[in-house]
Structure 1
Amino acid sequence: MNKILLSLSAALVASVTVFAAHAEGVQGDVQAGAKKNAMCIGCHGIVGYQSSFPEIHKVPKISGQGGKYIASALNAYKKGERKHPSMKGIAASLTDQDIADLAAYYEASGVVEGAPALEKAAPGSEKVNALLTKGNCASCHGESLSKPIDPTYPKIAGQHSDYLYVALKAYKVEGNANIGRGNAIMGGVAKQFSNAELKELANYIGSLPTELKVVPQSRFK
């Protein structure tokens, strides 16, 4: 299985390289992104905000997330590789410049200059460690699951556990027009596990030290 995942990883990196070449020259602007995030802050700018689709869960923390990952995710919604109806509709309305600006804004959002480095992730239980090894999670998401080996991969440490659980299950879904994520690597990983095992992974990952935040907007305080 690990050999298959490594082959899939190489293929994904190649496709990302092609996308990067296509998008070359589109530079994100933090200040421009701050003026374009009206459709984002209604969910991602409210502490504790929950979505009810496809089940109740907190929307992900995106402040402090890697900008290239945010751009990659928005483009995946735009192309239909990710099938969440609301996110597909929002992403479809964005230009390449909009996506670059929003990605730059959220990568910088909530970042405190001179903040201490994250603490190393505490080890999980024997069962959780076995699941992490089986999924080879650190091979993509890096040390403490917060230093991705490729900037188009997300930081996942400290993300909301219930969101992680819903996202992981989405990689197992096929043939549904409104639910699912079409990523060969993550599909191969997630399908190895039962939903109960995915929940254990999500609970552990969500408990880790993180750079991810929800930065409240003044209008929602």
Structure 2
Amino acid sequence: MNKFVSIAFALTVSAVTSLACAQDVKGDANAGATKIAMCIGCHGIAGYQASFPEVYKVPKISGQSEKYITTVLNAYKKGERKHPTMRGIATSLTDQDMADISAYYANHGKVEGAVLPVKATEPNAKVAPLLAKGACASCHGENFAKPIDPSYPKIAGQHADYLYVALKSYKVEGNATWGRNNGVMGGIAKQYTTAELKELANYMAAQQGDLKIVPQSKFR
């Protein structure tokens, strides 16, 4: 028994150490600029739409939190987020690649001196209780653009249809190619009907934030 405990402990320590090392990798935005060929074909085209599992605009990632982008790429690589295209891209990236790409997009299109509102606009009577039930501001910030932890996303101003599909994905279980495994978000999303998730998505999309799409040509 002691032998098995020792092996399990060693594997746990190894996994934790590997994760810590991955998180400690420092990104280089200039290096990231040379590694985004697989990204700009979708995220560098204004209005570009994905068609799986339904039609929606691909998310704005320019101006997103650096740590969040890295966290997401790792989640696709590990299969915690299921999406065939993103999984294929993420598995081709090293920890350094992810850090560099994340550093690039965190600063991409950034406007120095830009000031965001401290709080989001007042929600209507239908949305207010939905926000309260999910305690959305407690993680994503009162303006939904300054999350309390950099590994959480900025969601203010994100595409409404993307937010809607993303929120629904946390409710998906047992699907091999679609869904997101996150205990916290899964528990929150499952409290809502799809109609309520759409109300939340529309509200978040209408807020002012850092996120944008900066058109880029894939032919350089």
Q: State TM-score, norm by structure 2.
A: 0.89
* TM-aligned CA deviation for residue 23 of structure 1: 2.0
Q: Which residue of 1 aligns with 2:26?
A: 27
Q: Which residue of 2 aligns with 1:210?
A: 209
Asked if the contact 1:158/1:212 (under 8 Å) is kept, the reply is yes
Counterpart-to-counterpart distance in 2, 1:154 and 1:64: 11
Q: Which residue of 2 aligns with 1:43?
A: 42
Q: Percent identity?
A: 67
AA in 1 matched with 2:179:
G
Asked if the contact 2:116/2:208 (under 8 Å) is kept, the reply is no
Counterpart-to-counterpart distance in 2, 1:19 and 1:45: 32
Counterpart-to-counterpart distance in 1, 2:39 and 2:98: 12
Asked if the contact 1:69/1:151 (under 8 Å) is kept, the reply is yes
Q: Which residue of 2 aligns with 1:100?
A: 99
Q: Identify if the C-alpha distance between structure 1 residues 20 and 115 changes in structure 2 by more than 3 Å, giving closer, same or farther.
A: farther
Asked if the contact 1:158/1:207 (under 8 Å) is kept, the reply is yes
Q: Which residue of 1 aligns with 2:147?
A: 148
Q: Does 1:117 align with 2:79?
A: no
Greater mean deviation of Cα atoms: 55-64 or 210-219: 210-219
CA deviation vs aligned residue, 1:70-99 (integer Å, no higher than 9, x gap): 000000000000001100000000000000
Counterpart-to-counterpart distance in 2, 1:25 and 1:159: 28
AA in 2 matched with 1:184:
G
The aligned length equals: 204
Asked if the contact 2:127/2:199 (under 8 Å) is kept, the reply is yes
Q: Identify if the C-alpha distance between structure 1 residues 126 and 216 changes in structure 2 by more than 3 Å, giving closer, same or farther.
A: same
Counterpart-to-counterpart distance in 2, 1:219 and 1:123: 40
Q: Does 1:76 align with 2:75?
A: yes
What are structure 2's unaligned runs of at least 5 residues? 1-15
Asked if the contact 1:28/1:103 (under 8 Å) is kept, the reply is yes
Higher-Rg structure is 2
AA in 2 matched with 1:39:
M
AA in 2 matched with 1:83:
K
Asked if the contact 1:118/1:211 (under 8 Å) is kept, the reply is no
Asked if the contact 1:71/1:99 (under 8 Å) is kept, the reply is yes
Counterpart-to-counterpart distance in 1, 2:202 and 2:17: 35
SS in 2 for 1:200: helix
Asked if the contact 1:119/1:209 (under 8 Å) is kept, the reply is no
AA in 2 matched with 1:112:
V
* TM-aligned CA deviation for residue 117 of structure 1: 3.2
Q: Identify if the C-alpha distance between structure 1 residues 163 and 112 changes in structure 2 by more than 3 Å, giving closer, same or farther.
A: same
* TM-aligned CA deviation for residue 113 of structure 1: 1.3
Counterpart-to-counterpart distance in 2, 1:116 and 1:149: 18
Asked if the contact 1:157/1:206 (under 8 Å) is kept, the reply is yes
Q: Identify if the C-alpha distance between structure 1 residues 150 and 25 changes in structure 2 by more than 3 Å, giving closer, same or farther.
A: closer
AA in 1 matched with 2:209:
T
Counterpart-to-counterpart distance in 2, 1:100 and 1:130: 38
CA deviation vs aligned residue, 1:11-65 (integer Å, no higher than 9, x gap): xxxxxx9776232541100000010000000000000000000000000000000
Counterpart-to-counterpart distance in 1, 2:146 and 2:19: 20
Asked if the contact 2:63/2:110 (under 8 Å) is kept, the reply is yes
SS in 2 for 1:145: coil
Greater mean deviation of Cα atoms: 18-27 or 193-202: 18-27
* TM-aligned CA deviation for residue 115 of structure 1: 2.2
AA in 2 matched with 1:53:
F
SS in 2 for 1:166: helix
AA in 1 matched with 2:133:
K
